Homo-oligomer: A and B are copies of this chain.
Amino acid sequence: MPPLPLYLQIADQYQRIIHAGGLKRGDRFPSIRHIMQTQQVSMSTAVQACHVLEDWGLLRAKPRAGYFVENTDAHQPVASGLRPAANDTTAKPQQDLSQRYDGLHQFISEWMAKAEQYPVSIDFMTAVAAPRSYPTAQLNRAAASVLRQHPDILTTFARRYGHPKLRTVLARRSAERGMTLQAGDLTITHGCIEALNLALRAVCSKGDVVAVESPTFYGVLQALEAQGLQPLEIPTSAEHGLSLDALEMALDSQQPPVRAVICMPTLHNPLGCSMSDANKEALVALCRRYQVPLIEDDIYAQTSAEHVHSKPAKAWDSDGSVIYCSSLNKILAPGLRLGWMAAGRWQARVEMLKYSQSRYLDELGQLTAATFMDSQAYDRYLARFQARLQQLRQRAVQAIAQHFGNQVQMLDPTGGMMLWLRLPDHVPALQLSQLALEQGVLTSPGPMFSSKPRMAHFLRMSFGAVSEEQIEQGIAILAECMARLAAAPTSH
């Protein structure tokens, strides 16, 4: 069936947000300008979309004040109350869920809040591996030995910028991937997410436009919104990654200009694809030519034997214009929350922002990780870890083929811990995710990763934190839900 016209796609996307409670009766509706920018459409398309929503009775125009949300009868508010109620002395107004996630990428927030409301038995959303896939016992031994060797570590003020030993090991290990970094070039952070936030704070200020892949990791969209930055989605192929042509057009002509580019060239989240070396190099050159900092988010390479020694874009950075962000939370120890970055020419600014925002990291975790990563046991562990993920990936791919047949499309990724599924055109990911969630199966619907209407029919499925049996069961449940949706198409 032919695709809907653009204005209808946009109207459809907003009606879904309204029905999901993302916009409430009386709320001011996004301005035409905002719709034009976030959806990258012309004014006439944005205006048409609003007219359709008005026709549907969902919006009302107020003279000189714009559109307001009118009728959300179909909206089923999600029950509040997972959190302990406020006690009398701090009696805050009863928080509804949208307030809980005040102002931060409404759609993502709503979905995450919803996920908290249901008992989840199969978690296809959290993008980490199961604890037993990590070197739990070895890390515990390392931690115990650090405590013995550094008896004052818990009660001594932490060192600046991160512990030298961890910085040294990370610098040395990054040489294995073609980066020439010294310990002093690195800053240890609270996960990759703090690194990304610091990078954005260092190079952007409120209102700036940041080019991102479309789709992109939802945490990037949240960080942008929380900092008052505007994402500009650049077309990204599920096979080859970011379109350099499209990026160049944006760098060349976008007004206001693009202030930074965030990219995941290796094992992209959610697509699972990687850019070729030639494209990584061209990406670095392109950003340098336009003097726009490239923020590289690179945390999955070591999940795959095929990518463990692949070069990040940073390897082609000859003048410090790439801000490299990474972490150990996916590949070594989700419980340590250790991230790191090499901010190139912005290092001074990043370090001071880090100091002013959260000071330095506690050292026990840093030394524990450093001790283990300094040994060959780390390499042996990585090989096991990669094999385990590959096993789970194959199982997931098989189960999808078996239960969905050719109804669902995907590219089989060569690493990472997620699959990006294209659903049939008549199956909206949000409804499928919702139905599955009610049965205890948690997934990530496409609209979390992009504001583009076409993402409404994609679904991200992480398979790292579950067992083979859960993969089987969970995918069977998903297929069943999809059949139900196909059988009884809903009102919209």
Q: Does A102 contact B (CB under 8 A)?
A: yes
Q: Does A405 contact B (CB under 8 A)?
A: no
Task: List, sorted by A's number, 27 A–B pairs whose CB atoms are closer than 8 Å.
Answer: A83-B184, A87-B180, A89-B317, A90-B317, A92-B319, A92-B320, A92-B344, A95-B348, A100-B351, A104-B352, A104-B353, A131-B156, A134-B154, A137-B151, A143-B143, A153-B335, A154-B365, A154-B368, A155-B333, A191-B358, A193-B356, A194-B357, A206-B228, A335-B364, A336-B362, A337-B360, A337-B362
Give, as a whole number of angstroms, the nearest-CB distance from A263 to chain B. Answer: 18
- The B-contacting residues of A in range 176-219, CB under 8 angstroms, are 180-185, 190-191, 193-194, 197, 201, 205-206, 219
Interface string of A363-388 (1 = CB under 8 A from B): 11100100000000000000000000
With CB as the reference atom, state the residue of chain B lying closest to A193.
Answer: B359
A345: chain B residues within 8 A (beta carbon): 92-93
Q: Known contacts A197-B358, A335-B363; is A87 also within 8 Å of B139 by CB?
A: no
Q: Does A158 contact B (CB under 8 A)?
A: yes
Q: CA separation between A291 and B100, bound complex, in Å? A: 21
**Most-contacted residue by chain B among A128, A131, A137, A363 (CB, 10 A):** A131
Q: Indicate if the CB atoms of B86 and A335 lie closer than 8 Å.
A: no
- The B-contacting residues of A in range 5-54, CB under 8 angstroms, are none
Q: Does A99 contact B (CB under 8 A)?
A: yes
Q: Does A249 contact B (CB under 8 A)?
A: no
- The B-contacting residues of A in range 323-344, CB under 8 angstroms, are 333-337, 342, 344
Q: CA separation between A128 and B155, bound complex, in Å? A: 10
Q: CA separation between A172 and B90, bound complex, in Å? A: 15
A183: chain B residues within 8 A (beta carbon): 84
Q: CA separation between A201 and B359, bound complex, in Å? A: 17
Q: CA separation between A134 and B153, bound complex, in Å? A: 11
Q: Indicate if the CB atoms of B335 and A222 lie closer than 8 Å.
A: no
The 8 Å CB contact of A226, one of B135, B147, B357, is B357
Q: Indicate if the CB atoms of A358 and B358 lie closer than 8 Å.
A: yes
Q: Indicate if the CB atoms of A92 and B154 lie closer than 8 Å.
A: no
Q: Indicate if the CB atoms of A136 and B109 lie closer than 8 Å.
A: no
A154: chain B residues within 8 A (beta carbon): 134, 136, 139-140, 143, 333, 335-336, 365, 368
Q: Indicate if the CB atoms of B181 and A152 lie closer than 8 Å.
A: no
Q: Does A88 contact B (CB under 8 A)?
A: yes
Smallest CB-CB A-B distances: 7 pairs: A84-B184, A134-B155, A100-B348, A131-B152, A102-B349, A190-B358, A92-B320
Q: CA separation between A42 and B1, bound complex, in Å? A: 71
A290: chain B residues within 8 A (beta carbon): none
Give, as a whole number of angstroms, the nearest-CB distance from A370 to chain B. Answer: 13
Q: CA separation between A348 and B90, bound complex, in Å? A: 14
With CB as the reference atom, state the residue of chain B lying closest to A221.
Answer: B356
A126: chain B residues within 8 A (beta carbon): 157
Give, as a whole number of angstroms, the nearest-CB distance from A259 to chain B. Answer: 15
